[in-house]
């Protein structure tokens, strides 16, 4: 898979799906040659490095060769100021104040498999043959510093991952001001850039723009990957669609400040850069120490955005999400948050859980408010001791009673936070993040613990571990409701304050690592005021994430559609909540709320005691339906069919590996008066000449409605007939009425 030409000093990573080629340039630095669809290997690809006839103002490092300039070379890991004027991958400040570096090729190593990154989450393999890794070592003699670029190519997948290590082998410190995980010079810029942007309660909406000359970027400086931007971007052929055309996706396995940008230069070269955001970042690299960047996952697709998503989903399900829950069905959950908020006692919780159990729920989760004296969001974060006013018999007894009902028990924590009104704040006022002689800002009335300090992580680990053991928890929702301000750690030297954000997230990863190692059976769901930290870094530890605080089915179409560009369906926390919805005041039918929530982990976020008998019957049927098809939902390939960002309808489907089963979700947001007569939905990824029995889900009845049979080619070319829509006159037989309509179809190949 990795071929090296020692004469021309070229490296070619290829696996039949994708090729990645680079070489050593005449100045000893690395030049980039090609990234894209797999190429047949040949002796040399060096002709791909553009030869540039210099213009009068081209700067060049060799006096006798004005045609060689870094400005006009496609590079692999560029630095600034030695004839390249674009934003670099690396920027170091040396002891004399200079910022020039010159990393020259030294050697390479190739090994089977993939090694974990020190202290950071990353994709992994379980067998050596699943990947091959190339590590190229470069050296800057003046500052005695070694740069190691790692490339892993996964067997049989259009996936390459990259990361960078910098080791100071000299006697003086080096200040690292910028060390990106990825830099990629693409020879042209005729692409559209796709990004996932949003806000609290409307995360990861799909946005597209045409690349233009100059810099276009998405980033976060919030100490979390954020609701606003996701550490992802894709470049697509302008004519690419969901099913066709070239797409390159880039995703950073990191949960803190990031930068993902594309700089289009004056020769239409597009430089993609991704990594830790350099703003306010400075790492003091002491002699003999190493800095490891996070990893970037690069996916290539020639089957449009769906092809890219399929590769991300497959990789993340098998090589990122890990441990006990990696390949297991997740329990159908009932979370009490929107049912009670802070207002509960043991009886109320047990009644809710009991009703849930009757309906088919498998896991009961007690959300915020069980600890300290937390009656609202102004107090008690950090005091991880049960509130005996609400739960006089303690958590142990509550958990036991829940388990005796036949349910699993889970709890909410917000480990990184502390309330001003809390015992922890009184005991350890110095543990908060705070800049000396400045007043710390609040977010949701709370302050943040300094997770860059080991003793803070140790203390929270001890508190959580003791509760896990006492209550035999099998699930934890790890929330994080505000972003970092006044970033500073009193435990770090003045010269190291630029390390703060990264050290903070390393502390978060450390706690996750300790908890998941000590309690491998606990299912973690990450959460950050909903989807404010939905990134691959979190997925490595927590196999699912609360996708958004917004549980409104209509808004969820956009959020789940956008999230699915990168993240697998079984990582998306999705619940049915009450109507009117608490975030949008919209009232969608219980059926539609379920029809959206199936395409995720599935659960409920409402008080089942408030449901009518008719609604309880629907909920029972929904849960039974989900349990029956959850393996298909968890393991199948997810395909987006109609985008909520482009019209009134949304559709998606999940197909199993041998295309013998599929589940289709169709949603029409607003009713159209006197609508078109022949309404069908064209499906995808089926076998053309296979006959499928199509069953329209009907949760209001015990039995699903009668099956019809269609061949795959008809379903894909003409479409599955949608139910008859109300047109103002067809009262007698209309099956879809009003706004927020939806249908779920189950397809099963027939042996005919
Ligand atoms: C924000 C979360 O996203 C909600 O689901 C809930 O857990 C609240 N925090 C609790 O404070």
Quote the ligand 1 centre to 474 CA distance (angstroms).
19
Residue 706 clears pLDDT 80, i.e. is over it: no
**Mean pLDDT over residues 130-135, rounded?**
98
Q: Is 475 in the pocket of ligand 1 (CB under 6 A)?
A: no
Does residue 146 line the site of ligand 1, with CB under 6 A? no
Banded pLDDT at 703 (limits 50, 70, 90): low
Q: Find out whether 123 and 180 touch, Cβ atoms under 8 Å.
A: no
Q: What is the mean pLDDT of the chain?
A: 97
pLDDT at 152 over 80: yes
- Can you spell out the DSSP letters for 408-459? EEEEEE-TTEEESBSHHHHH-GGGB---TTSPPP-BTTEEEB-TTSHHHHHH
Give the ligand 1 atom nearest the CA of 444. 11
- Does any ligand 1 atom lie closer than 6 A to the CB of residue 333? no
Q: Are 361 and 406 in contact (CB under 8 A)?
A: no
- Tell me the pLDDT tens digit for each residue of 401-436: 999 999 999 999 999 999 999 999 999 999 999 999
Taking a C-beta distance cutoff of 8 angstroms, is the pair 4, 43 a contact?
A: no
Q: What pLDDT sits at residue 220?
A: 98
Distance 251 CA to ligand 1 centre (A): 26
Query: Euclidean distance between the first and final Cα of the chain, in Å?
Result: 42
> Which of 227, 530, 550, 582, when mutated, tests ligand 1's pocket best, judged by the most ligand atoms within 8 Å of its CB?
530
In tens, the pLDDT along 60-93 reads 999 999 999 999 999 999 999 999 999 999 999 9
Nearest atom in ligand 1 to 546's CA = 3
**pLDDT level of residue 287 (50, 70, 90 thresholds):** very high
Say if ligand 1 is within 6 A of residue 536 CB. no
Confidence of residue 517 (pLDDT cuts 50, 70, 90): very high
Of 363 and 752, the one with more pLDDT: 363
Which pLDDT score, from 0 to 100, does residue 50 have?
A: 87
User: With 60 as the cut, is the pLDDT of residue 704 above it?
Assistant: no
The per-residue pLDDT for 662 is 98
Ligand 1 contacts CB of residue 546 (under 6 A):
yes
Mean pLDDT on 657-682: 96
The pLDDT assigned to 406 comes to 98
251 lines ligand 1 (CB under 6 A): no
* Gap between the Cα atoms of 481 and 253, Å rounded: 21
Instruction: Retrieve residue 291's tokens.
Output: 């800095």
Q: Write the pLDDT tens digit of every residue in 456-477.
A: 999 999 999 999 999 999 999 9
Mean pLDDT of 122-139: 98
Supply the pLDDT for residue 467. 98
Distances (CA, A) of 361 to 334, 354, 425: 6, 9, 38
Ligand 1 close to Cβ of residue 529 (< 6 A): yes
Question: What sign does the CA torsion over 497, 501, 502, 507 have?
Answer: positive
DSSP code per residue over 84-150: --S--SEEEE-TTS------EEEEEEEEES-PPPTTS-----SSGGGEEEEEEEEEETTTTEEEEEE
Q: What is the mean pLDDT of residues 145-153?
A: 98
Q: Cis check for the bond before 503: say yes or no (omega within 30 of 0).
A: no
Determine whether the shortest distance from the Cβ of 371 to ligand 1 is under 6 A. Answer: no
What is the rounded average pLDDT of the residues 12-17?
98
Give the atom of ligand 1 at the shortest distance from the alpha carbon of 605.
Answer: 5
pLDDT interval class at 509 (50, 70, 90): very high
Q: Whose CA is nearest to atom 2 of ligand 1?
A: 529
- CB of 203 sitting under 6 A from ligand 1: no
Is the model's pLDDT at 339 over the cut of 60?
yes
Best residue among 529, 534, 547, 577 to mutate for probing ligand 1's pocket (most ligand atoms within 8 Å of CB) is 529
* 167 CB near ligand 1 (under 6 Å): no
Rounded mean pLDDT, 309-320:
98
**Beta strand segments in 113-257, E:** 131-140, 145-154, 159-168, 174-179, 182-186, 192-199, 202-210, 214-220, 232-236, 247-253
507 lines ligand 1 (CB under 6 A): no
Report angle CA 623, 627, 549 to the nearest 5 degrees: 60
Q: Write out the catalytic residue numbers.
A: 479, 549
Kindly report the protein residue whose alpha carbon is nearest to atom 5 of ligand 1: 549
Distance 478 CA to ligand 1 centre (A): 9
pLDDT at 708 over 60: yes
Distance 578 CA to ligand 1 centre (A): 16
Q: What is the mean pLDDT of residues 244-257?
A: 98
% the chain with pLDDT above 90: 97
Mean pLDDT value across residues 84-112: 97
Q: Is the CB of 479 under 6 A from ligand 1?
A: yes
Q: Residue 527 CA: which ligand 1 atom is closest?
A: 3
Residue of 527, 572, 573 best suited for mutating to test ligand 1, as the one with most atoms within 8 Å of CB:
527
- Please provide the DSSP assignment of 15-82 as one string: -SSEEEEEEE-TTSSEEEEEEEE-----S--GGGSPP-PPPTT---SSTT-TT--GGGS-BSS-BSSS
Q: Which atom of ligand 1 is nearest to the CA of 377?
A: 11
Pick the residue whose CA is nearest to atom 9 on ligand 1.
Answer: 529
For residue 64, the number of C-alpha atoms closer than 13 Å in the C-beta half-sphere is 1
Judged against a pLDDT cut of 60, whether residue 594 lies above it is answered with yes
Calpha distance 370→462 (Å, rounded): 18
Specify whether the backbone of 146 is left (phi greater than 0), alpha (psi in -120 to 50) or beta. Answer: beta
Classify residue 57 as exposed, middle or buried by CB count within 10 Å of its CB (0-12, 13-18, 19+): exposed
Say whether pLDDT at 40 is over 70: yes
pLDDT digits (tens, 9 = 90+) for 723-744: 999 999 999 999 999 999 999 9
CA of 149 to the centre of ligand 1 (A): 40
Sign, CA dihedral 497-498-499-500, equals positive
DSSP helix/strand/coil, 320:
coil
Res 52: pLDDT: 78
Q: Is the CB of 712 under 6 A from ligand 1?
A: no
What is the Cα Rg of the chain in Å? 27
Q: What is the dihedral of CA 297, 300, 303, 305, to 10 degrees?
A: 40
CA distance 335 to 530: 14
Centroid of ligand 1 to alpha carbon of 376 (angstroms): 12
Dihedral pair phi/psi, residue 444, rounded to 5°: 45, 40
CA of 417 relative to ligand 1 center, distance in Å: 13
Distance 529 CA to ligand 1 centre (A): 6
Expressed in angstroms and rounded, the spacing between residue 527 Cα and the centre of ligand 1 is 8
Quick check: pTM over 0.85?
A: yes
């Amino acid at each position: 898979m990795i071929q090296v030409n020692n004469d021309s000093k070229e490296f070619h990573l290829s696996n039949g799906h994708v090729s990645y080629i680079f070489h050593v340039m005449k100045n000893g630095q690395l030049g980039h040659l090609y990234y894209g669809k797999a190429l047949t290997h040949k002796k040399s690809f060096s002709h791909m490095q553009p030869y540039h006839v210099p213009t009068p103002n081209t700067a060049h490092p060799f006096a006798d060769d004005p045609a060689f300039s870094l400005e006009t070379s496609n590079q692999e890991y560029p630095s600034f100021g030695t004839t390249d004027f674009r934003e670099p991958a690396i920027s170091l400040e040396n002891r004399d104040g200079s910022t020039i570096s010159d990393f020259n090729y030294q050697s390479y190593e190739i090994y089977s498999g993939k090694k974990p990154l020190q202290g950071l989450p990353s994709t992994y393999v379980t067998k050596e043959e699943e990947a091959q890794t190339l590590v190229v070592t470069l050296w800057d003699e003046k500052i005695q510093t070694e740069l190691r670029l790692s490339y892993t190519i996964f067997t049989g997948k259009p996936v390459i991952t990259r990361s960078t290590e910098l080791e100071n082998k000299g006697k003086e410190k080096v200040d690292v001001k910028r060390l990106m995980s990825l830099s990629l010079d693409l020879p042209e810029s005729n692409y559209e850039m796709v990004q996932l942007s949003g806000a609290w309660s409307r995360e990861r909406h799909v946005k597209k723009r045409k690349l233009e000359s100059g810099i276009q970027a998405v980033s976060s400086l919030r100490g979390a990957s954020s609701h606003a931007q996701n550490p992802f971007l894709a470049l697509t052929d302008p004519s690419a669609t969901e099913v066709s055309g070239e797409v390159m996706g880039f995703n950073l396995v990191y949960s803190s400040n990031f930068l993902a940008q594309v700089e289009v230069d004056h020769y239409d070269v597009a430089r993609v850069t991704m990594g830790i955001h350099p703003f306010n970042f400075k790492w003091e690299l002491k002699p003999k120490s190493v800095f490891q960047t996070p990893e970037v996952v690069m996916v290539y697709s020639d089957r449009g955005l769906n092809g890219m998503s399929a590769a991300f989903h497959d990789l993340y399900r098998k090589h990122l999400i890990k441990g006990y829950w990696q390949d297991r069905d997740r329990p159908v959950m009932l979370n009490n948050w929107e049912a009670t908020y802070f207002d509960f006692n043991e009886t109320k919780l047990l009644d809710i859980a009991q009703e849930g159990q009757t309906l088919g729920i498998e896991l009961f989760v007690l959300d915020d408010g069980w600890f300290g004296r937390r009656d609202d969001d102004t107090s008690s974060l950090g005091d991880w001791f049960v509130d005996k006013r609400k739960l006089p018999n303690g958590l142990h007894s509550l958990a036991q009673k829940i388990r005796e009902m036949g349910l699993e028990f889970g709890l909410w924590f917000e480990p990184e936070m502390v309330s001003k009104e809390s015992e922890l704040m009184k005991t350890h006022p110095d543990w908060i993040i705070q800049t000396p002689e400045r007043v710390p800002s609040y977010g949701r009335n709370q302050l943040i613990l300094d997770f860059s300090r080991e003793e803070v992580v140790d203390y929270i680990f001890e508190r959580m571990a003791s509760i896990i053991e006492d209550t035999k928890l099998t699930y934890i929702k790890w929330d994080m409701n505000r972003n970092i301000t006044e970033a500073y750690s009193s435990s770090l030297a003045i010269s190291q304050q630029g390390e703060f954000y990264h050290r903070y997230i390393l502390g978060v990863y450390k706690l996750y690592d300790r908890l998941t190692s000590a309690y491998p059976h606990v299912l973690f769901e990450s959460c950050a005021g909903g989807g404010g930290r939905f990134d691959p870094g979190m997925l490595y530890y927590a196999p699912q994430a609360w996708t958004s605080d917004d549980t409104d089915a209509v808004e969820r179409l956009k959020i789940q559609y956008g999230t699915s560009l990168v993240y697998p369906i079984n990582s998306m926390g999705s619940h049915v909540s009450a109507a009117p919805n608490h975030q949008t005041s919209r009232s969608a039918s219980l059926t539609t709320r379920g029809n959206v929530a199936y395409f995720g982990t599935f659960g409920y976020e409402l008080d089942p005691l408030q449901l009518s008998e008719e609604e309880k019957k629907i909920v029972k049927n929904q849960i039974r339906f989900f349990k029956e098809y959850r393996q298909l939902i968890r393991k199948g390939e997810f395909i987006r069919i109609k985008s909520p960002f482009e019209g009134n309808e949304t559709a998606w489907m999940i197909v199993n590996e041998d295309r013998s089963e599929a589940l289709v979700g169709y949603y029409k947001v607003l009713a159209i008066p006197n609508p078109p007569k022949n309404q069908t939905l064209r499906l995808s990824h089926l076998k053309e000449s296979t006959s499928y029995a199509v069953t329209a889900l009907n949760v209001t009845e015990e039995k699903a409605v009668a099956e019809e049979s269609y061949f795959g080619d008809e379903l894909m070319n003409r479409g599955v007939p949608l139910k008859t829509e109300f047109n103002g006159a067809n009262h007698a037989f209309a099956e879809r009425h009003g706004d927020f309509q939806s249908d779920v179809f189950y397809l099963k190949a027939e042996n005919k």
